[in-house]
Amino acid sequence: MPDDFVNVTIDGMPVAVPKGTPIIEAAKQAGILVPHYCYHPSLPSPAVCRMCLVEVEKAPKLMPACVTAVAEGQVVHVNSPTAKKAREGVLELLLINHPLDCPICDQAGECELQNYVFQEGRPGTRYKEYAKRYSPVEDFGPDVLYVPNRCILCTRCVRFMEDVAGAPVLNVSERGDRAFIGIAEQERLDHPWAGNVVDLCPVGSLLSKDFLHKARAWDLDKTASVCPGCTQGCNINLDTRDDVVVRIRPRPNLEVNRHFICDYGRMNYRWMNRGDRVEAPLVRDGTRHAATDWDTALARLEQVIRGATGSVVILASGRASTESLGLVRRMVDRPQVTAAVQVPLGDEAPLAGIPGLALRRERAPNLAGAALLGYTADWSAALLEARSAGIVLVLDADLAPEDEAVLAGAPGLVVMLATVMPEARNAELILPVTNMAEENGTYLNRDRRIQRYQQAKAQPGMARPAWWIAGEVLAGPGPDPTAPATAAEAFALLGEWWPILAGLTHDDLGFTGRVLSSAAAGVGSAR
């Protein structure tokens, strides 16, 4: 055991944790949840909710597990009668003024007050003769409502704005049981990262207007994903109900985004649900397009590629997966290829308290991946070249109308699109592809971390990931076992051409990704 570890016993379970670890985190290691409200691993701990009081042998009184560091030989009881009684006391007090309006509360089902009270099973209240505290709902900012009646004053929101966002626009106002979370008249909760206060709120006191009364927590399916909003690569969950993305929430990744995402990323999901989709492959038949099956479409695609002369231009979206970008690039493996990736730009919005975390100027998730795979960021040069190219492949790019008009005249135009492109009348093929919510894949973020995202909703109609289309073309006509059937298989193929990815598998990436380095290239092959 290294010197900087200490041994403690928590509810009979021995664990060794680094010196200085708070008991609450040590308990997690032992598989024991210490109930808490004010504590949050990405915020400073004020130890005010007093919910995490635990019994520490030889200590004169109960200790707050969130700020008490472990000590060698310490014996902690989280579920002793004394500790439980103290927690029940806190819950009784939190409930005296908390409205039991769970049926209309967005937080129901993922509410830490509801959950702990449920576990405890208290049937009634002794606070009968008095009216509950009542204050009207307040509009805090573009996407945040404050319901003071439900507030338990854990102050996570205040601390997030003050200590993490560095913009203290929320406060605790007044004292005693008159206290509430306040905001100044002339200020708004409109910081680019403000939406995190809604996630941080352990009860339904801070609500997202966007999500208000939209879905019950227990009806949501949560899918691990990566934010497609910029090159930061924040880990997220796509929350869906009945195949519709209804909310994006941060998924913890201490290396990338800790527990936070920006509001731009949070709101950047409506396009995933768009209904104006191409649902079947379309091949040009004279002046019109006809829907067909994939065998026919793939055969035609192969024909177009083989038959064309001159250069190839690929115009790809920065949202395209590493798998799709890679296999599409290989599909047209010939001397004169210009592959370009689109780089939408916006303003940078850092989260002051977390170094290395920002909404980035480059508003696409896989620009580093595209660069690694040989895509240029010189979009206008590629567009110019497209005018005289033999084949132009559009991979889910968001084209400006004037650019669409230019491409409309290109001879071998193939578009792989998630949504309808009005100016594609001249295209040889229009192939329906999935959007990132409808497929598995990987993105490489700006810090060279390659991370997986997973399919959150069904693909519409016959839409397929672009890597599948390219994989089929690469394998040639007819059934071929070498054609990748899954994104993982497609990913495994990339290593053949890009050695840095050799031997690396989806499984290796886990849920938090892996940073590519020259050493990383050998990881898989070493086994």
Partner 1 sequence: MGYPHPSHPKETVVLSQHFGDPEARSYAGWIKRGGYEGLRKALGMSREAIIEEVKASGLRGRGGAGFPTGLKWSFMPKEVVKPHYLVCNADESEPGTFKDREIMRWTPHALIEGCAIAAYAIGAERCYIYIRGEFTEPWKVMSAAVEEAAANGALGGNVFGSGKRIEMVLHRGAGAYICGEETGMMNSLEGRRGNPRIKPPYPAVAGVFGSPTTVNNVETLAAVPHILIRGAPWYKALCLGNPKSTGTKLVSVCGHVQRPGNYEVTMGTPMRDLLHDMCGGPPPGRTFKAVIPGGSSVPIMTIQEAEAALFDYEGIVEQGSMLGSAGMIVMDDSTDMVYQIWRLARFYAHESCAQCTQCREGTAWTTRILERILAGKGKQEDFQVLLDLADNMTGKTICVLSDSCAAPVVSGIQKFRSEFEAYIAGAREPALAMA
Partner 2 sequence: MSGGDGSRATHGTAQAEPYTPVFAGPTRARLETLFTKYPTKQACLLPALWMVQEARGWISEQAIAEVAEVLGLTPAYVKGVVTFYTMYHTHPVGRHFIQVCTTTPCNICGAEEVVNALLGATGCGELGATSPDGRFTVIEVECLGACGFATPILVDDEFIENVTPEKVAGIVKRYQ
Q: For binding to partner 2 (CB under 8 A), which residues are involved?
A: 162, 167-175, 182-187
Structure tokens at 261: 């995402």
What are the residues facing 464 on neighbouring strands?
Answer: 433
Question: Does 511 participate in binding partner 1 (rule CB under 8 A)?
Answer: no
Count of H-run helices and E-run strands, the chain: 14, 25
Closer by beta carbon to partner 2, 146 or else 491: 146
What are the residues facing 181 on neighbouring strands?
Answer: 172
Question: Does 241 participate in binding partner 1 (rule CB under 8 A)?
Answer: no
Distance (Å, whole) CA 49 – CA 394: 55
Q: What are phi and psi of 222, to 5 degrees?
A: -110, 130
Closer by beta carbon to partner 1, 155 or else 237: 155
Q: Which amino acid is at 218?
A: W
Question: Does 49 participate in binding partner 1 (rule CB under 8 A)?
Answer: yes
Question: Does 58 participate in binding partner 1 (rule CB under 8 A)?
Answer: no
What's the closest the beta carbon of residue 157 comes to partner 1, in angstroms?
15
Question: Does 51 participate in binding partner 1 (rule CB under 8 A)?
Answer: yes
Structure tokens at 12: 């009979």
Distance (Å, whole) CA 436 – CA 395: 13
Q: Which does 67 bind (CB under 5 to 8 A by kind): partner 1, partner 2, none?
A: partner 1
What's the closest the beta carbon of residue 181 comes to partner 2, in angstroms?
9
Q: Which does 177 bind (CB under 5 to 8 A by kind): partner 2, partner 1, none?
A: partner 1
**Strands 171-173 and 180-182, bridge-based pairing:** antiparallel
Distance (Å, whole) CA 87 – CA 99: 19
Question: Does 47 participate in binding partner 1 (rule CB under 8 A)?
Answer: yes
What's the closest the beta carbon of residue 35 comes to partner 2, in angstroms?
27
Are the beta carbons of 61 and 109 closer than 8 angstroms?
Answer: no
Question: Does 62 participate in binding partner 1 (rule CB under 8 A)?
Answer: yes
Are the beta carbons of 261 and 238 closer than 8 angstroms?
Answer: no
Are the beta carbons of 238 and 251 closer than 8 angstroms?
Answer: no
Question: Does 64 participate in binding partner 1 (rule CB under 8 A)?
Answer: yes
Choosing from 21, 42, 74, 97, the residue that interacts with partner 1 (CB under 8 A) is: 97
Question: Does 514 participate in binding partner 1 (rule CB under 8 A)?
Answer: no
Q: Which does 4 bind (CB under 5 to 8 A by kind): partner 1, partner 2, none?
A: none
**Strands 5-10 and 13-18, bridge-based pairing:** antiparallel
Choosing from 13, 30, 67, 408, the residue that interacts with partner 1 (CB under 8 A) is: 67
Are the beta carbons of 222 and 248 closer than 8 angstroms?
Answer: no
Q: Which does 111 bind (CB under 5 to 8 A by kind): partner 1, partner 2, none?
A: none
Nearest to 150 by CA among 227, 97, 86, 77: 97
Q: Which does 58 bind (CB under 5 to 8 A by kind): partner 2, partner 1, none?
A: none
Structure tokens at 304: 């177009």
What's the closest the beta carbon of residue 498 comes to partner 2, in angstroms?
49
CA distances from 459 to 114, 212, 277, 435 (A): 36, 27, 10, 8
What's the closest the beta carbon of residue 67 comes to partner 1, in angstroms?
6
Question: Does 169 participate in binding partner 1 (rule CB under 8 A)?
Answer: no
Contact positions vs partner 1 (CB under 8 A): 46-51, 53, 61-62, 64, 67, 86, 89-90, 92-94, 96-97, 126-127, 129-130, 152-153, 172, 174-179
